């Protein structure tokens, strides 16, 4: 099954920001494009706006003047839905209300030809439910573009329960012919990106609600240690708190209020107060004129230890041993398997975040996961009130000697990056096991859709087969609500790995 021929007209219904973006993508790819909006005059205004954007592309030398003129000639507003009768593909980008979308497609079904593909750009509604209103739902599917559609490469091609394989394949190949990177997925709440990305926001909010750290510090750790392009608080301010919370609530409800997707009460209060982020001037941060951006907590300089004793395998943090030596600090390695930790001269221990808390042990400081300990510019530490001040100071001084800024947070199990990455990995394995998408498509979707530094399955392989499962096991023991219980898929993955052996008795 091949992509739609470039001579085939493509229609976009709904001419808001997303609708205009999708129309521009199809237009620049070479299709004739029809625009329709139920509000009189909007389709014409949208065509003019797209024309202006094409002018800017010419100014930036991303499009030739001849190609712009040809594209403008292919763009035509439609006075009514009947004007879309000859289209080979109709993409809908109207209000996120099920009954409105169903009525639109019922009407379109009586207008377009039998071989016309019908697609919704919904991000939160069930593709199956929308298509359920049709007499021929086999040609109906989801084409979920990301905003701004002309710039972001990812398109989730969503097959509803009744979608024909041939229809999904043609839509997939068409998106690829448009220069996009399509990924195929089944119709599940949140599809790929909005399903697997929920913990990125939820765990940051959870640390904040438990007074583990302030938003600026959490964001800084996610960026400078975790390698994420933006922190959860600044990203939701950019998206809009109302929009982000609405997606979270939709996924939670669609999964029958699964505790793994529980919305944040702190975010709900933010929305109720009208602090929606950048668009309202205030969100987690203040964007009004003259407002100062809060600084993350950064520890004062401290003396590093003269040496450390490495006991056991540091796993994902093994690279630290080389960095410590390069900083001129002696590393004494013990062959005995006493655990996975660094022992400081004062007798205290430094341990990679594993889902447990410092209060459970005598004189332990936890340090957070980093995407790359050599490249990380900030490391988070956590300690209990009972932890020796000397141990915390030596731990702080050690990472400062490696050129890192240090943020000391509360005694939070799993800290910030570790708990977030473990949950993202878990949801990714669960999605693969349930047939939502392939490992490759999930990794591609998360890298391109939300700019993650690694795909979650790639992260899983790097950290080791049982790492995420062990972290979540410990988190579940600390907070046995079910939120952190590892999925069956993750358990199977962990026990199939080389690092964990199990056999029935």
Catalytic residues: 123, 144, 156, 194
Q: How would you classify the pairing of strands 307-311 and 341-343?
A: antiparallel
Max Cα-Cα span within the chain? 80
CA distance 190 to 39: 29
Q: How far is CA 373 from CA 29, 226, 320, 370, in A?
A: 42, 10, 7, 6
The 8 Å CB, 24+ separation contacts for 70-75 are 71/27, 71/28, 74/27, 74/30, 74/31, 74/32, 74/33, 75/23, 75/27, 75/32, 75/33, 75/35, 75/47, 75/50, 75/51
Q: Do residues 369 and 226 lie in contact, with contact meaning Cβ atoms separated by under 8 Å?
A: yes
Structure tokens at 75: 């763009």
- H, E, C per residue of 234-274: HHHHHHCHHHHHHHHHHHHHHCCCCHHHCCCHHHHHHHHCC
CA distance 133 to 445: 29
CA distance 124 to 96: 8
Q: Cα-atom radius of gyration of the chain, to the nearest Å?
A: 26
Structure tokens at 345: 């001269």
CA distance 99 to 448: 31
CA distance 444 to 455: 7
Q: Do residues 91 and 158 lie in contact, with contact meaning Cβ atoms separated by under 8 Å?
A: no
Identify whether 473 is preceded by a cis peptide bond (ω within 30 of 0).
no
User: Nearest to residue 94, comparing CAs of 35, 167, 148, 47?
Assistant: 35
User: Nearest to residue 408, comparing CAs of 378, 435, 429, 432?
Assistant: 378
CA distance 25 to 31: 9
Structure tokens at 131: 């298509």
């Amino acid at each position: 099954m091949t992509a739609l021929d470039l001579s085939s007209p493509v229609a976009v219904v709904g001419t808001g920001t997303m609708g205009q973006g999708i129309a521009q993508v199809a237009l620049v790819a070479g299709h004739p494009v029809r625009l329709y909006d139920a509000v009189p005059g909007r389709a014409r205004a949208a065509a003019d706006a797209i024309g202006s954007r094409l002018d800017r592309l010419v100014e930036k030398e991303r499009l030739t003047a001849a190609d712009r003129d040809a594209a403008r000639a292919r763009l035509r507003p439609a006075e009514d839905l009947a004007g879309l009768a000859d289209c080979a593909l109709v993409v809908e980008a109207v209000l996120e209300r099920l009954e409105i979308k169903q009525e639109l497609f019922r009407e379109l079904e009586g207008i377009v030809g039998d071989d016309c593909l019908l697609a919704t750009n919904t991000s939160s509604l069930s593709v199956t439910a929308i298509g359920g209103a049709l007499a021929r739902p086999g040609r109906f599917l989801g084409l979920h573009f990301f905003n701004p559609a002309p710039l972001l490469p990812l398109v989730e091609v969503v097959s509803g329960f009744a979608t024909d394989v041939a229809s999904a394949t043609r839509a997939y190949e068409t998106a690829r012919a448009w220069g996009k990177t399509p990924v195929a997925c089944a119709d599940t709440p949140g599809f790929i990106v909005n399903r697997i990305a929920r913990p990125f926001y939820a765990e940051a909010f959870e640390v904040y609600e438990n007074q583990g750290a302030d938003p600026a510090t959490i964001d800084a750790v996610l960026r400078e240690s975790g390698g994420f392009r933006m922190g959860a608080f600044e990203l939701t301010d950019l998206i809009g708190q109302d929009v982000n919370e609405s997606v979270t609530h939709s996924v939670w409800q669609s999964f029958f209020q699964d505790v793994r997707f529980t919305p944040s009460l702190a975010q709900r209060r933010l929305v109720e107060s009208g602090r929606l982020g950048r668009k309202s001037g205030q969100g987690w941060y203040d964007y009004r004129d003259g407002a100062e951006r809060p600084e993350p907590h950064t520890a004062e300089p401290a003396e590093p230890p003269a040496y450390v004793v490495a006991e056991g395998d540091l796993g994902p943090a093994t690279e630290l041993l080389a960095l410590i030596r390069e900083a001129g600090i002696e590393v004494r390695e013990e062959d005995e398997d006493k655990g996975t930790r660094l022992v400081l001269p004062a007798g205290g221990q430094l341990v990679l975040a594993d889902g447990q808390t410092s209060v459970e042990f005598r004189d332990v400081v936890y340090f957070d996961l980093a995407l790359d300990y050599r490249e990380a510019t900030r490391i988070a530490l956590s300690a209990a009130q009972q932890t020796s001040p000397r141990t915390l100071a030596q731990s702080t001084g050690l990472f400062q000697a490696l050129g890192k800024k240090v943020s000391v947070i509360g005694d939070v199990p799993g800290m910030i990056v570790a708990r977030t990455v473990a949950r993202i990995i878990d949801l990714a394995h669960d999605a693969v096991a349930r047939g939502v998408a392939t490992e490759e498509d999930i990794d591609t979707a998360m890298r391109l859709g939300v700019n993650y530094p690694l795909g979650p399955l790639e992260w899983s392989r790097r950290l080791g087969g049982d790492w995420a499962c062990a972290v979540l096991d410990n988190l579940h023991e600390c907070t046995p609500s079910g939120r952190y219980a590892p999925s069956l898929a993750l358990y199977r993955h962990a026990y199939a790995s080389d690092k964990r052996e199990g056999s029935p008795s």
